[in-house]
């Protein structure tokens, strides 16, 4: 069945799809978001590890190729809100020299943009979604920007212990920037520090898409169609223009949604899958894949049991609201090597709440 044509159809109601929807709907575009999972509301969310599995990945894993292939589903979500319904809400920023890895370290590539190009957006998103943190303190490693809209979260006993240990080792820490309300913000309540963020925050203190951009999008008239699984992007006979998407609705019936623009926001691993599935005689290898490289460079960031990642999953039994902080590199490299803290490139800033017994973090991904 064909639905009435819209300006924009967005595949996926997660963090990315919500931002597109909010911006485009506010600009007056007719927007439909197709989401394969259920239409979660805050009131559906239950603080239970068993229940929480419902909002986690529900489809088969991707088998990554390479020397050591492994099945990968972890960084995903299921239903309206997507992965950010149960994420840890750490909002760290890249640093200026992260954009110049080639020039500064002779590895990889420099970015064609700089920190200064993205900095205004970091500040805007922090205001939009509500970030708690101490922007001034972060100036030890990044240029000044706008203050965060809320002060940092509380520091609890285990945070104090980390602070003491790191101070003794010469590692400077600052409060983690997190998308959680340390105070009431934009009609949403302050966090009560009960530590259930990893299965979805039912109070709205965690800045998930339902209470931020998706809410804005709906207010501006965007329609969210849940239980609608997109299978293909459709193109015209010449193969040079998208015309919409094919999807299967809650009754498993085939539908077509015509649109002038298609936005794939189904998660970085699902988007290529959809494009590879959209072959035609004009696109024998899938859409945007004349090079044959579509998804070939996708990289799994193995976050299980590791603490060597930018924000990452904290180690097991640590709190979901801990974040990674970094000592200022200039200051560190200026220091005599004997005074440098070992393995200090990224240190855990355990300045956020909750006893570890409550914050065990999510278990392994559902199989
Ligand atoms: C446990 C966990 C903790 C995290 N912690 C942090 C953190 O602290 N800080 C941080 O910055 N990031 C964190 N992340 C990562 C962050 O949450 C994700 O990168 C981000 O939410 C991805 O958003 P997205 O819109 O790209 O994809 P998703 O949120 O995965 O949204 C994609 C949506 O598309 C839907 N979909 C998929 N295929 C189809 C289809 N064929 N048809 C229709 N709909 C479809 C899915 O159901 C899903 O709702 C965390 C992630 C997880 C899982
Ligand atoms: S700890 Fe705070 S942000 Fe997390 S679920 Fe509880 S109230 Fe929500």
183 has pLDDT over 70: yes
Model pLDDT, residue 70: 72
Beta bridge partners of residue 290, listed in sequence order: none
Q: Is the pLDDT of residue 81 over 50?
A: yes
Evaluate: CB of 319 within 6 angstroms of ligand 2: no
pLDDT tens figures, 204-260: 999 999 999 999 999 999 999 999 999 999 999 999 999 999 999 999 999 999 999
The pLDDT of residue 67 is 79
Alpha-carbon distance of 245 to 255, in angstroms, equals 8
Average of pLDDT values for 272-276?
93
Q: What is the mean pLDDT of residues 273-300?
A: 89
What's the CA gap between 188 and 113, in Å, rounded? 35
φ, ψ for residue 102 (rounded to 5)? -65, -50
Distance 183 CA to ligand 2 centre (A): 12
Probe target for ligand 1 pocket from 14, 264, 322, with the most ligand atoms within 8 Å of CB: 14
Model confidence, pTM: 0.83
C-alpha–C-alpha distance, residues 33 and 13, integer Å? 6
Kindly give, in sequence order, each residue whose CB lies less than 8 Å from that of residue 165, ignoring residues fewer than 6 positions away: none
- Residue 296: what pLDDT? 79
Confidence of residue 349 (pLDDT cuts 50, 70, 90): very low
Q: Whose CA is nearest to atom 2 of ligand 2?
A: 191
pLDDT at 60: 65
Per residue, the 3-state secondary structure of the chain, as one string, reads CEEEEEEEEEECCCHHHHHHHHHHHHCCCCEEEECCCCCCCHHHCCCCHHHHHHHCCCCCCEECCCCCCCEECCCCCCCCCHHHHCCCCECCCCCHHHHHHHHHHCCCCCCCCCHHHHHHHHHHHHHHHCCECCCCHHHHCCCCCCCCCECCCCCCHHHHHHHHHHHHCCCCCCCCCECECCCCECCECCCCCCCCHHHCCCCCCECCHHHCHHHHHHHCCCEEECCCEEEEEEECCCCCCEEEEEEECCCCCEEEEEEEEEEECCCCCHHHHHHHCCCCCCCCCCCCCCCCCCCCCCCCCCCCCCCCCCCCCCCCCCCCCCEEECCCHHHHHHCCHHHCCCCCCCEEECCCCCCCCCCCCCCCCCC
For residue 194, the tally of other CB atoms under 10 A from its CB is 14
280 confidence band (pLDDT: 50, 70, 90): very high
Distances (CA, A) of 96 to 90, 106, 271, 319: 19, 16, 29, 28
In the chain, the percentage of residues whose pLDDT exceeds 90 is: 69
| First CA to last CA distance, the chain | 34
What value, to the nearest 5°, has the Cα angle with vertex 19 and ends 300 and 117?
75
For 95, the token pair is 């640093």
- Residue identifier of the C-alpha nearest atom 13 of ligand 1: 87
Over range 65-79, report the average pLDDT.
76
Q: How far is the CA of 219 from the centre of ligand 1 (A)?
A: 22
Q: CA angle, corner 91, sides to 86 and 97, nearest 5? A: 140
359 lines ligand 2 (CB under 6 A): no
The reported pLDDT for the residue numbered 73 is: 66
Where residue 314 falls among pLDDT bands split at 50, 70, 90? very low
Ligand 2 pocket check for 153: Cβ under 6 Å: no
Q: How confident is the model at residue 57 (pLDDT cuts 50, 70, 90)?
A: confident
The average pLDDT across 281-296 equals 92
In the structure, what pLDDT confidence band is assigned to residue 58 with cuts at 50, 70 and 90?
low
| Residue 317 pLDDT exceeds 60 | no
What pLDDT, on the 0 to 100 scale, is given for residue 363? 26
β-strand partners of 235: 242
Average pLDDT over residues 185-205: 96
> How sure is the predictor about 269, in pLDDT bands with cuts at 50, 70 and 90?
confident
Are 288 and 296 spatial neighbours (Cβ–Cβ below 8 Å)? no
- Condensed to tens digits (0 to 9), the pLDDT of residues 90-120 reads 999 999 999 999 999 999 899 999 999 999 9
Residue 336 has pLDDT above 70, yes or no: no
Which ligand is closest to the CA of 195, given by its number? Answer: 2
Percent of the chain with pLDDT over 70: 78
Residue from 185, 193, 320 whose mutation best tests the ligand 2 pocket (most atoms within 8 A of CB): 193
Average pLDDT over residues 79-95: 95
What spacing in Å lies between the alpha carbon of 79 and ligand 1's midpoint?
10
Ligand 2 atom index nearest CA of 192 = 7
Task: Please give the torsion angle defined by the CA atoms of residues 268, 270, 272 and 274, in that order, rounded to the nearest 10 degrees.
Answer: -150
The residue with tokens 């293909």 is 232
* Residue range 26-39: mean pLDDT, rounded: 97
Pocket of ligand 1 (CB under 6 A): 11-17, 34-37, 75-79, 82-84, 86-90, 229-230, 265-267, 270, 274, 311, 362
Q: Which ligand is nearest to the CA of 319?
A: 2
Confidence bin at 352 (pLDDT 50/70/90): very low
Nearest to 214 by CA among 283, 265, 250: 265
Higher pLDDT, 3 or 213: 213
* CB of residue 192 inside a 6 A radius of ligand 2: yes
241 C-alpha to ligand 1 centroid (Å)? 27
pLDDT tier for residue 333 given thresholds of 50, 70 and 90: very low
Atom of ligand 2 lying closest to residue 180 CA = 3
Query: Which of the four pLDDT bands, split at 50, 70 and 90, describes residue 69?
Result: confident
How far apart are the CA of 360 and the centre of ligand 1, in A? 21
Tell me what pLDDT residue 223 has.
Answer: 98
| C-alpha separations of 55 from 171, 199, 362 in Å | 37, 7, 12
Buried-state track 202-211, b at ≥16 Cβ within 10 A, e below 16: ebbbbbbbbb
pLDDT at 357 (0 to 100) = 21
For residue 331, the model assigns a pLDDT of: 33
pLDDT in tens, 119-138: 999 999 999 999 999 999 99
Candidate from 17, 54, 75 with most ligand 1 atoms within 8 A of CB, to mutate: 75
Region 281-294: mean pLDDT is 93
């Amino acid at each position: 069945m064909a639905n009435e044509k819209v300006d924009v159809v967005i595949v996926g109601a997660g963090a990315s799809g919500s931002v597109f929807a909010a911006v485009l709907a506010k600009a007056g575009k007719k927007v439909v978001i197709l989401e394969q999972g259920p239409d979660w509301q805050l009131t559906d969310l239950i603080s239970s590890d068993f229940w929480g599995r419902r909002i986690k990945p529900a489809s088969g894993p991707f088998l990554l190729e390479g020397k050591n292939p492994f099945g990968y589903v972890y960084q995903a979500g299921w239903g309206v809100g997507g992965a950010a319904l149960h994420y840890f809400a750490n909002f760290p920023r890249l640093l200026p020299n992260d954009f110049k890895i080639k020039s500064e370290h002779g590895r990889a590539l420099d970015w064609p943009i700089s920190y200064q190009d993205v900095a205004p957006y970091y500040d805007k998103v922090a205001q939009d979604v509500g970030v708690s943190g101490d922007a001034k303190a972060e100036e030890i490693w990044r240029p000044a920007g706008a203050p965060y809209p809320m002060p940092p979260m509380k520091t609890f006993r285990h945070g104090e212990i980390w602070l003491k240990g790191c101070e003794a080792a010469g590692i400077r820490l600052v409060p983690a920037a997190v998308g959680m309300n340390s105070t009431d913000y934009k009609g949403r309540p302050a966090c009560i520090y009960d530590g259930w963020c990893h299965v979805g925050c039912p109070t709205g203190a965690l800045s998930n898409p339902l209470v931020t951009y998706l809410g804005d999008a709906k207010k501006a008239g965007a329609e969210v169609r849940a239980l609608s699984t997109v299978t293909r992007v459709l193109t015209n006979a010449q193969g040079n223009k998208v015309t919409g998407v094919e999807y299967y609705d809650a009754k498993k019936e085939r539908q077509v949604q015509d649109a002038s623009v298609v936005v794939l926001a189904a998660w970085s691993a699902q988007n290529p899958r959809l494009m590879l599935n959209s072959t035609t005689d004009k696109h024998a290898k899938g859409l945007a894949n004349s090079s044959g490289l579509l998804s070939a460079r996708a990289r799994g960031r193995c976050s299980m049991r590791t603490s060597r990642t930018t924000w990452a999953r904290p180690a097991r039994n640590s709190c979901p609201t801990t974040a990674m902080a970094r000592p200022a590199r200039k200051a560190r490299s200026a220091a005599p090597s004997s005074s440098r803290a070992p393995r200090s490139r990224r240190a855990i800033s355990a300045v956020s709440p909750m006893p570890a017994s409550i914050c065990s973090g999510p278990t392994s991904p559902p199989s």
